[in-house]
A and B are shown apart, each in its own frame.
Chain A
Amino acid sequence: MHPRLQSVFVRPFPPRRRVRAGLLLVPALAVGLVVTGTGPAGAQGGSVALVAYSTPKPAYSVLATDFAKTKAGQGVTISPSFGPSGTQATSVTDGLPADVVNFSLATDMAKLVKAGIVSSSWDKGPTKGMVTDSIVSFVVRKGNPKHITTWADLVKSGVQVITPNVFSSGSAKWNLMAAYGAQLSQGKSKAQALAYLTTLLHHAVAQPASASAALQTFLAGQGDVLLDYEDDALYAQHQGEPITIVTPPQTILIENPIAVTKTAGPSAKAFVAYLLSPAGQKVWGQQGYRPVLPSVAATFHFPQPKVLFKIDKFGGWTLVNKQFFDPQTGLVAHIEQSLGTSTASS
């Protein structure tokens, strides 16, 4: 089983305090919930509560070990919790103690800013609040037997695509915005780009619930091409999976935000400082992420797509989520509906 899959479905227990509250009887439970709900979630002693999305789990195990070897990291233990980005953000607003938060989308950080847990100036640092970059890549069978190199190749007849379900997976949203933006950057109109999305989803033979489930489905032999985070694909390749990674000519730059919570102690800040330092960024790079520090990024040789655009091209995540990915009124919901009804009647 792919190790990342576990983290998607099973989130480790939140730190001690809450677990204990759950074991006590009813009145204690009520009190316990109040305590965890409103109490300060700051670092206690040398422990840093890290709440992150699923994909960087293997990277963090290396980073935590490496951090412990630094001067600032001596005696500090990182207690991590991994899960789907949106779920993790909701857990924190619902009272899951957190000192450092790392999400796949800035939207999830916005939830915490709105709840008053993260300062609104979280994105004012030199890296604009981002800790890692990545891109949307094509993952194909080893040796690329179907010669898939461009977005147009994905919708050729007989090509089966796997991309996660957009309503449950942040990764799927990046994928579709990459596809949409790739069309625009090739001079297509918005309507043509939407038509492309429709064709692309028509070629989707599976829309698994999460990025990890999608990778698992692809590795089980289904589909010809999987749309995936480059870092996730590199990790799978590193694990010895028989895949080839194709960098599309046009794709989206994925930026993953990190922040400390308002109540975080000095060790949490030191940990984030380490993650953004050249030493930390080098580890991220070795783990398949594109470093956000240009000096470190230059030492790695990540393939450069011809056109690389950001989500800002479409007005940022808040707008994109509303326009494209609202499960009831979004453009993609309409596309799925039209596909569903057309196949049902044919």
Chain B
Amino acid sequence: MADVGAPAPPGSGPATRLLDGRPGVDLSAVGRRAARIGGPALAVTYLSLLVLLPLAALLSNALSGGPAAFWRAVTQPEAVAALELTLVASLIVALVNSVAGLAIAWVLVRDQFRGKALVSALIDLPFALPTVVAGLTLLALYGPDSPFGVNLAGTRLGIGCALAFVTLPFCVRSVQPVLAELDRETEEAAASLGAKNTQVVRRIVLPSIAPAVLAGAGLAFARAVGEFGSVVLISGNLPFKTEVASSWIFSLSQSGDLSAASAVSVVLVLISLSVLLAIGWMRRRFDAPETV
């Protein structure tokens, strides 16, 4: 803003005026009114058709056998084992990738090096790669015929690897723009006032990017919870050991037990929802001091 403090030119009030100064119809106000009604309507319709309606159908499917059948489906030992594994693995992966993603974003924003554009482009590749291909590639690299002698096939570490691979972009891309926008003058001011490096990071940098880091972690977690293609090949899909929830749900649907499949999915969705809500709450707590 160049002319902050300059007096507003006369006649630039909220009401629109024609060139000769007569008051005219405020088209932008009409647009705003349309947007006020139409915008939310469009958003709600779109959201309903694409998200809420399928979720409602899922819920109705899940409960089609009655609450007792629902309970049986979600408390069955194999289902519980698969859900536990999926949630724990997703949480760990979200945490690990938040740290790794922050480090990568930091390097991309703050450091200059040759090939930076290429590295930046590479980060999004896990999004573009069909997950089945990712699974095959991981199996070739970290399977029994691994060129590095690392065999993760049939292990939980292998599952973690696959999940980390597909969720990394979320963790980098949600932090990177915030980091780029970060006002370095504040950091310099803090340093000039005698703050140590760790203090600058802890008191200035982290609070500003924490909401973005959390957002990335939330997306990574939600994505990991539902991941199927990249995981099933390297996991070996052993019941009770390396079978993830999405795979168990796939089995149920293939066995024709759609209501049980839906029931387990509902649990998955509910847990993801509560994690996302919790993350939203934490983000608001970080944001709050800034608005004061």
**A residues in contact (CB < 8 Å) with B:** 1, 5, 9, 26, 84, 86-87, 90, 165, 167-169, 204-209, 213, 216-217, 220-222, 325-328, 333, 336-337, 339-341, 343-344
Q: Is the CB of A221 within 8 A of B78?
A: no
Please tell me the number of chain B residues within 8 Å of chain A, measured between CB atoms.
37
User: Number of residue pairs across A and B with beta carbons under 8 Å?
Assistant: 112
Docked-complex contact B241 and A327, CB < 8 angstroms? no
B134 to chain A, nearest CB (A): 12
Q: Give the contacting residue for A168; candidates B145, B250, B260; CB below 8 A.
A: B250
Instruction: Verify if B239 is at the interface (C-beta below 8 Å from A).
Output: yes
Pairs across A and B, CB under 8 Å, 9 listed: A86-B254, A165-B243, A167-B252, A168-B250, A209-B237, A209-B250, A216-B136, A216-B139, A339-B240
Partner of A167, one of B49, B153, B254: B254
Q: CA–CA, A337 to B229, complex, Å?
A: 25
With a CB–CB cut-off of 8 A, which chain A residues contact B77? Answer: 337, 340-341
Q: A168 CA to B255 CA in the complex, in Å?
A: 6
Assess the A222–B49 pair: CB atoms within 8 A: no
B154 and A222 within 8 A (CB): yes
Shortest A346–chain B CB gap in Å is 12
Q: Do residues A165 and B240 form an inter-chain contact, with CB atoms below 8 A?
A: no
A-contact bits for B83-112, CB 8 A (1 contact / 0 none): 000000000000000000000000000000
A204 touching B254 by the CB < 8 A rule?
Answer: no
A204 partner residues in chain B, CB cutoff 8 A:
238
Known A-B contacts A209-B237, A328-B73; A220 and B132 likewise in contact (beta carbons under 8 Å): no
Which residue of chain A has its CB nearest to the CB of B232? A209
Q: Chain B: residues with CB nearer than 8 A to chain A?
A: 49, 72-73, 76-78, 81, 132-133, 136, 139-140, 143-145, 153-154, 229, 232-233, 236-241, 243, 247, 250-257, 260
Contact partner of B144 among A26, A87, A165, A221, CB < 8 A?
A: A221
Q: Are A325 and B144 in contact, CB atoms less than 8 angstroms apart?
A: no
Complex contacts, B254 vs chain A, CB 8 Å: 84, 86-87, 167-169
Complex contact B136–A1 (CB within 8 A)? yes
Closest residue of chain B to A335 (Cβ to Cβ) is B239
On chain A, the residues within 8 Å of B229 by CB distance are 9
Set of chain B residues within 8 Å of A208, measured between Cβ atoms: 232-233, 236-237
Interface core residue of A86, A206, A327, A337 (most chain B CB under 10 Å): A327
Contact B78–A336 (Cβ < 8 Å)? yes
Contact of B255 among A216, A327, A337 (CB under 8 A): A327
**Whole-angstrom distance between the alpha carbons of A84 and B254 in the complex?**
8
Give Cα distance in the complex from A26 to B50, angstroms: 11
